[in-house]
């Protein structure tokens, strides 16, 4: 359509606002704004962006707010007439009446705020009115460890209120009062610390003044440098802009151009960076001598390790050595770790955190579809008509994705949450199926049964693209719904309604988490979730699919790189002779290890049996996070040598013979792969702390000592290693450091660099045909054996403020926000046991007991208790058990038979 800007004809886009149009044609500064933020709904309240518009040349003009007025055919727009300039100045004058006069200009040595830029753009008016709001006493709020408010600087633009609601989906901020007393309030007009604020900082980032700011004053910092990198915490993979002054990190903002997080991030990404130069950081290599750690040189540490590893290899064989790689470290480092294990130590004993996490997802989805990764992208959410969230709690664990899901739930999209806990998303969902922990298979069989019964299956899709449907159908059709209703504890009518909602939706999307995988029947559950998608044709286009919310920042990547004992880089089967020959030729060696390797629990068992002697752990706090601590400790004590690469003296590092100090992700280059297969750059922000080295460097150093010359040379260079990865991994042929650019690429990445948003498109399953499986529900041995004596079910999960072992988040102000793990108990159970809020209990299982403070809540049903596993003061894994998924041995952290008593 043709639109005229100052009488010049231009092509305008459909649905464009006048503001967008003028900014596109002229420049971002063409029209000043105050209440406008591209990420928020247009608001049109401040009128600073006003322009004159006429329907014809020289026609009568009307003044409109350009931010919320769409362009129209033949519009004549004038954006810098005298009338408009006067109007803007008058508005600004009124705003400045209520604004501190000493904040009109930027402070010395600071960047101007957005509002200060707007003032400069419009020109400072002469303020003729008496002081309004600012004649009142307005207190500053310093109660929160990260976020501050100084509402004297508030210009009532509502951006924070809208960001809180529209981006984060919280309604913590609001506006209250009238006239001069109008002001932003938190919660029921408390300070931040007592409000329900989730500390995401969206309000701080959007606030155009310093009415809301963070304690690092990130917005107005004049940084020497701002480096874009990828967050180290969860699998969402947020992009961060990190500001550096004098070689120190001073603040973090979320870039609005990031495809993954679009200018948003959670409190961990934005604020929890103080761990990186915490005094506790390990700075030198350590060797334990006579039970005490001594600082040694890198040479001494390497010599000691080389000697010990070669000795163990000679005495007990290569398979008595094993390595645990790190999903916190980069792809390049994980690639090197598995390569070193296989080519220099000559064993397939390499494993990683997926073992205790999403291994059943990889296994189950490979069985059903052929690929063990998310079928779709997070962005697809915008195109779905139904969301099923199965055993995942993304508002705590994947907060940026969680916030997006929350927006859709609040807008009323048909939604199903399957979770024994009434999570914040369960509270908003259309259907919450609050099952007994451990009964996923039974519940999914019910859903399958009802979808068949209601005739809602997509016969065409099933016939063309899948196999084994009939046996699945026959199986679920004969099941007794009354029996399963009793087992799961969810009314069959409710399950039926949810199943129908899922099956009837044009496009339905599944997201799942550890509530699926960390179970005795974890892999089976994944296969049944795959069935649900296939039987309703929900695979292979946008807005559908099976989307595991992968956990660690680089757990997807670690697996892609070959960090598992049965598959090498790119998931090729290490038992296959052709694959062996392929890797041997790529790695330039004569042959690959003979046998498939051991999984972590098998390594530990073998250690206890005296057959496994050397364990090398990179970035995992196995003692704290693997189940049944005493069992792990016993295994570690049997080792001849335990090597740990760490940032901190973790519980595991305490057990080690050699501790190597690693550089954190701020201090090195590489890539992380997020849960939607997107490989993104990790860019070095600051120099390595102390005498630390990137993990990749340590591994290369050791490769040489163990007799293997890494072809990319003795210096860890992420871009070069990425070239080697492109050579080895078939689905990464086209990857390169340059091509990754700012927003990364989603694999498969073709030779020409094209990436892939959706896999198994149009029924083209990676394995050929999608495969149906069917299973009966089976009670976990944990309950069968122990429930008489320990009648409660403990389920363990995570909380927003802390990350896994807590080594990092506990060394930030997040510890102030959340100082403890709590046991959540239903008040009815508490009453039975004479326990009140604030009490501590001793909780015990067949493995041991720990003390923990109690929180009373109706979010768990009677008979179920829940806690998190972040605080070593509690050390909850002392009581978790050894039952694991039948196929992958992933521990059943989600069902532990326990009892508890007041202490």
Ligand X SMILES: Nc1nc2c(c(=O)[nH]1)N[C@H]1C(S)=C(S)[C@@H](COP(=O)(O)OP(=O)(O)OC[C@H]3O[C@@H](n4cnc5c(=O)[nH]c(N)nc54)[C@H](O)[C@@H]3O)O[C@H]1N2
Shortest CA distance to 536 belongs to which of 466, 646, 592, 462?
Answer: 462
Q: Which does residue 802 bind out of Mo ion, ligand X, none, counting CB within 5 to 8 angstroms by kind?
A: ligand X
Which CB sits closer to Mo ion, 233 or 431?
233
Beta carbon of residue 13, minimum distance to ligand X (angstroms, whole number)? 38
Is 639 within 8 Å of 858 (Cβ atoms)?
no
How is residue 564 annotated by DSSP?
S
Using CB under 6 A, pick the residue from 35, 203, 321, 329 that binds ligand X: 329
Using CB under 6 A, pick the residue from 263, 551, 597, 696 that binds ligand X: 551
Binders of ligand X among residues 615 to 634 (CB under 6 A) are: 618-621, 625
How is residue 435 annotated by DSSP?
P
Residue-wise DSSP of 341-355 = IIIIS----EE-GGG
- 640 binds ligand X per the rule CB under 6 A: no
Using CA atoms, how far apart are residues 506 and 513, in angstroms rounded to an integer? 24
Binders of Mo ion among residues 340 to 359 (CB under 5 A) are: 357
How is residue 728 annotated by DSSP?
H
Using CA atoms, how far apart are residues 4 and 792, in angstroms rounded to an integer? 71
Which CB sits closer to ligand X, 616 or 893?
893
Which CB sits closer to ligand X, 318 or 662?
662
SS3 of 744-787: the string is: CEECCCCCCCCCCCCCCHHHCECCECEECCCCCCCCCHHHHHHC
Q: Which stretch binds ligand X (CB under 6 A): 57-65, 72-80, 662-670, 765-773?
A: 662-670
Q: Which does residue 19 bind out of Mo ion, ligand X, none, counting CB within 5 to 8 angstroms by kind?
A: none
Is 813 within 8 Å of 147 (Cβ atoms)?
no
Beta carbon of residue 253, minimum distance to ligand X (angstroms, whole number)? 20
Backbone angles phi, psi at 691, to 5 degrees: -100, 30
Q: Which does residue 876 bind out of ligand X, Mo ion, none, counting CB within 5 to 8 angstroms by kind?
A: ligand X
- 557 binds Mo ion per the rule CB under 5 A: no
Shortest CA distance to 753 belongs to which of 737, 736, 738, 734?
Answer: 734
Using CA atoms, how far apart are residues 903 and 124, in angstroms rounded to an integer? 66
Which residues lie below 8 Å from residue 291, measured CB to CB, with a gap of 6+? none
| Residues, the chain | 903
Q: Which stretch binds ligand X (CB under 6 A): 18-26, 557-565, 658-666, 675-683?
A: 658-666
How is residue 277 annotated by DSSP?
G
Is 391 within 8 Å of 361 (Cβ atoms)?
no
Using CB under 6 A, pick the residue from 229, 320, 542, 552 that binds ligand X: 552
Which CB sits closer to Mo ion, 145 or 551?
551
Is 300 within 8 Å of 328 (Cβ atoms)?
no
Q: Which stretch binds ligand X (CB under 6 A): 132-140, 299-307, 353-361, 632-640?
A: 353-361
Beta carbon of residue 796, minimum distance to Mo ion (angstroms, whole number)? 12
Q: Which does residue 613 bind out of Mo ion, ligand X, none, counting CB within 5 to 8 angstroms by kind?
A: none
What is the contact mask toward ligand X in residues 570 to 589, using x (rule: CB under 6 A)?
A: --------------------
- 812 binds ligand X per the rule CB under 6 A: no
- 446 binds Mo ion per the rule CB under 5 A: no
- 269 binds ligand X per the rule CB under 6 A: no
Beta carbon of residue 376, minimum distance to ligand X (angstroms, whole number)? 17
* 880 preceded by a cis bond (ω within 30 of 0): no
Beta carbon of residue 827, minimum distance to ligand X (angstroms, whole number)? 18
Using CA atoms, how far apart are residues 205 and 265, in angstroms rounded to an integer? 10
Is 646 within 8 Å of 653 (Cβ atoms)?
yes
- 777 binds ligand X per the rule CB under 6 A: no
Q: Quick one: angle between helices 331-339 and 695-705, nearest 10?
A: 20
Q: Which residue's Cβ lies closest to Mo ion? A: 551
Using CB under 6 A, pick the residue from 461, 587, 648, 875 that binds ligand X: 648
Is 22 within 8 Å of 31 (Cβ atoms)?
yes
Which residues lie below 8 Å from residue 884, measured CB to CB, with a gap of 6+? 520, 601, 890, 891, 892
Using CA atoms, how far apart are residues 332 and 694, in angstroms rounded to an integer? 11
Q: Counting beta carbons within 10 angstroms of the beta carbon of residue 605, is it exposed (0 to 12), middle (13 to 18) or buried (19 or more)?
A: middle
Q: CA-CA distances (angstroms) from residue 807 to 275, 396, 417, 804, 884?
A: 8, 18, 31, 8, 25
Q: Which does residue 95 bind out of ligand X, Mo ion, none, counting CB within 5 to 8 angstroms by kind?
A: none
Identify the bridge partners of residue 745 per DSSP, sorted by sequence position: 679
- 350 binds ligand X per the rule CB under 6 A: no
- 441 binds Mo ion per the rule CB under 5 A: no
What is the contact mask toward ligand X in residues 426 to 465, using x (rule: CB under 6 A)?
A: ---------x-xx-x-------------------------
Beta carbon of residue 518, minimum distance to Mo ion (angstroms, whole number)? 9
- 103 binds ligand X per the rule CB under 6 A: no
Using CA atoms, how far apart are residues 164 and 166, in angstroms rounded to an integer? 6
- 513 binds ligand X per the rule CB under 6 A: yes
- 859 binds ligand X per the rule CB under 6 A: no
Q: Which does residue 285 bind out of Mo ion, ligand X, none, counting CB within 5 to 8 angstroms by kind?
A: none
- 894 binds ligand X per the rule CB under 6 A: yes
Is 758 within 8 Å of 370 (Cβ atoms)?
no
Binders of ligand X among residues 356 to 415 (CB under 6 A) are: 356-357, 390-394, 396-398
Tokens of 795: 């389920």
Q: Which does residue 258 bind out of Mo ion, ligand X, none, counting CB within 5 to 8 angstroms by kind?
A: none
Beta carbon of residue 514, minimum distance to Mo ion (angstroms, whole number)? 7
Binders of ligand X among residues 778 to 797 (CB under 6 A) are: 795-797
Which CB sits closer to ligand X, 157 or 549?
549
Using CA atoms, how far apart are residues 44 and 50, in angstroms rounded to an integer? 9
Using CB under 6 A, pick the residue from 695, 821, 885, 899 that binds ligand X: 695
Beta carbon of residue 806, minimum distance to ligand X (angstroms, whole number)? 7
- 805 binds ligand X per the rule CB under 6 A: yes
Q: Which does residue 803 bind out of Mo ion, ligand X, none, counting CB within 5 to 8 angstroms by kind?
A: ligand X
Identify the bridge partners of residue 234 per DSSP, sorted by sequence position: 552
Which residues lie below 8 Å from residue 786, measured CB to CB, with a gap of 6+? 845, 846, 897
Q: Which stretch binds ligand X (CB under 6 A): 100-108, 420-428, 561-569, 839-847?
A: 420-428
Which residues lie below 8 Å from residue 208, measured CB to CB, with a gap of 6+? 34, 113, 114, 115, 118, 155, 157, 159
Which CB sits closer to Mo ion, 357 or 636?
357
Q: Counting beta carbons within 10 angstroms of the beta carbon of residue 107, is it exposed (0 to 12), middle (13 to 18) or buried (19 or more)?
A: middle
Beta carbon of residue 875, minimum distance to Mo ion (angstroms, whole number)? 18
Which CB sits closer to Mo ion, 22 or 357?
357
Q: Which stretch binds Mo ion (CB under 5 A): 64-72, 238-246, 451-459, 549-557?
A: 549-557
- 600 binds ligand X per the rule CB under 6 A: no
Q: Which stretch binds ligand X (CB under 6 A): 50-58, 614-622, 742-750, 835-843?
A: 614-622
Give how many residues touch Mo ion by CB under 5 A: 2
Using CA atoms, how far apart are residues 129 and 134, in angstroms rounded to an integer? 12
Q: Which stretch binds ligand X (CB under 6 A): 220-228, 379-387, 510-518, 556-564?
A: 510-518
- How many CB atoms neighbour CB 136 within 10 A? 13
Interface ranges with ligand X (CB under 6 A)? 234, 326, 328-329, 353, 356-357, 390-394, 396-398, 418-421, 423, 435, 437-438, 440, 513-515, 518, 549, 551-552, 618-621, 625, 645-648, 650, 662, 664-665, 695, 795-798, 800, 802-805, 807-808, 869, 876-877, 880, 893-894
Interface ranges with Mo ion (CB under 5 A)? 357, 551
């Amino acid at each position: 359509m043709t639109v005229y800007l100052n009488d010049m004809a231009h092509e305008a886009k459909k649905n464009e606002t006048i503001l967008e149009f003028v900014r596109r044609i002229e420049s971002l500064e063409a029209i000043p704004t105050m209440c406008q933020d591209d990420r928020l709904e247009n608001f049109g309240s401040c009128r600073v962006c006003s322009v004159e518009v006429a329907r014809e040349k020289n026609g009568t003009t009307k003044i409109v707010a350009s931010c919320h007025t769409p362009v129209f055919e033949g519009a004549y727009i004038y954006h810098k007439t005298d009338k408009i300039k006067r109007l803007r100045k008058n508005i600004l004058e009124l705003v400045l009446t209520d604004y501190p006069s000493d904040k009109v200009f930027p402070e010395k040595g600071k960047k101007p705020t957005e509002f200060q830029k707007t003032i400069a753009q419009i020109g400072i008016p002469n303020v003729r009115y008496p002081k309004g709001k600012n004649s009142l006493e307005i207190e500053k709020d310093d109660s929160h460890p990260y976020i501050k408010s100084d509402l004297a600087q508030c210009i009532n633009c509502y951006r924070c209120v809208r960001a809180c609601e529209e981006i984060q989906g919280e309604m913590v901020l609001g506006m209250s009062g009238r006239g001069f007393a109008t002001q932003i309030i938190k919660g029921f007009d408390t300070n931040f610390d007592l409000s329900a604020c989730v500390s995401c900082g969206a309000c701080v980032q959007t606030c155009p003044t310093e009415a809301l700011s963070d304690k690092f004053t990130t917005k107005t910092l004049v940084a020497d440098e701002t480096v874009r990198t990828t967050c180290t915490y969860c699998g969402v993979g947020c992009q961060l802009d990190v500001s550096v002054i004098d070689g120190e990190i001073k603040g973090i903002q979320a870039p609005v151009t990031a495809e993954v997080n679009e200018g948003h991030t959670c409190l961990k990404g934005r604020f929890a960076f103080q761990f990186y130069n915490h005094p506790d950081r390990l700075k030198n290599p350590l060797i334990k001598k006579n039970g005490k750690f001594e600082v040694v040189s890198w040479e001494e540490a390497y010599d000691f390790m080389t000697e010990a590893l070669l000795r163990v290899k000679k005495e007990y064989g290569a398979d008595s050595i094993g390595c645990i790689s790190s999903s916190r470290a980069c792809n390049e480092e994980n690639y090197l770790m598995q390569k070193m294990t296989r080519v220099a130590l000559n064993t397939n004993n390499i494993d990683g955190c997926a073992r205790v996490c999403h291994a059943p997802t990889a296994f189950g989805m490979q069985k059903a579809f052929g690929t063990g990764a998310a079928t779709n992208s997070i962005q697809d959410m915008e195109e779905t008509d139904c969301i099923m969230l199965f055993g995942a709690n993304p508002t705590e664990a994947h907060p940026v994705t969680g916030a997006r899901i929350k927006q859709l739930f609040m807008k009323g999209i048909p939604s199903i949450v399957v979770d024994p806990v009434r999570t914040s998303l369960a509270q908003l969902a259309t259907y919450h199926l609050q099952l007994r922990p451990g009964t996923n298979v039974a519940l999914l069989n019910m859903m399958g049964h009802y979808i068949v019964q209601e005739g809602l299956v997509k016969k065409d899709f099933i016939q063309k693209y899948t196999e084994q449907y009939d046996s699945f159908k026959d199986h679920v059709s004969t099941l007794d719904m009354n029996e399963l209703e009793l087992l799961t504890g969810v009314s069959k009518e409710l399950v039926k309604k949810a199943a129908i909602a899922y099956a009837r939706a044009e496009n339905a999307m599944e997201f799942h988490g550890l509530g699926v995988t960390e179970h005795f029947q974890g892999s089976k559950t994944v296969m049944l979730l795959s069935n649900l998608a296939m039987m309703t044709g929900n695979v292979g286009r946008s807005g559908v699919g099976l989307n595991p919310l992968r956990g660690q920042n680089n757990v997807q990547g670690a697996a892609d790189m070959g960090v598992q004992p049965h598959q090498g880089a790119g998931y090729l089967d290490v038992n296959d002779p052709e694959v062996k020959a392929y890797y041997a030729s790529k790695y330039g060696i004569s042959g690959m290890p003979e046998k498939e390797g051991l999984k972590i629990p098998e390594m530990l068992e073998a250690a206890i049996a005296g057959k496994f002697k050397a364990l090398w752990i990179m970035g995992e706090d196995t003692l704290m996070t693997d189940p049944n601590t005493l069992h792990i400790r016993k295994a570690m004590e049997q080792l001849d040598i335990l090597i740990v690469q760490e940032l901190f003296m973790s519980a595991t590092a305490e057990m080690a013979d050699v501790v190597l100090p690693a550089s954190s992700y701020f201090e090195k280059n590489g890539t992380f792969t997020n849960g939607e297969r997107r490989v993104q750059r990790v860019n070095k922000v600051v120099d390595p702390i102390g005498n630390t080295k990137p993990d990749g460097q340590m591994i290369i150093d050791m490769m040489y000592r163990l007799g293997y010359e890494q072809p990319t040379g003795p210096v860890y260079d992420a871009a070069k290693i990425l070239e080697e990865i492109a050579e080895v991994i078939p689905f990464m042929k086209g990857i390169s450091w340059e091509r990754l650019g700012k927003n990364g690429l989603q694999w498969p990445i073709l030779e020409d660099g094209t990436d892939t948003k959706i896999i198994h498109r149009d029924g083209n399953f990676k394995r050929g045909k999608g495969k149906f499986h069917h299973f009966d529900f089976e009670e976990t041995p944990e309950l069968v054996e122990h429930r008489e004596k320990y009648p409660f079910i403990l389920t363990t999960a995570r909380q927003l403020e802390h990350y896994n072992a807590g080594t990092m988040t506990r060394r930030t102000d997040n510890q102030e926000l959340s100082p403890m793990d709590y046991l959540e108990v239903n008040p009815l159970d508490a009453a039975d046991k004479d326990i009140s809020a604030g009490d501590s209990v001793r909780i015990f299982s067949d493995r041991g007991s720990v003390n923990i403070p109690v929180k009373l809540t109706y979010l768990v049903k009677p008979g179920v208790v829940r806690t998190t596993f972040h605080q070593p003061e509690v050390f909850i894994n002392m009581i978790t058990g050894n039952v694991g998924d039948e196929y992958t041995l992933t521990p059943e952290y989600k069902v532990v038979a326990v009892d508890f008593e007041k202490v």
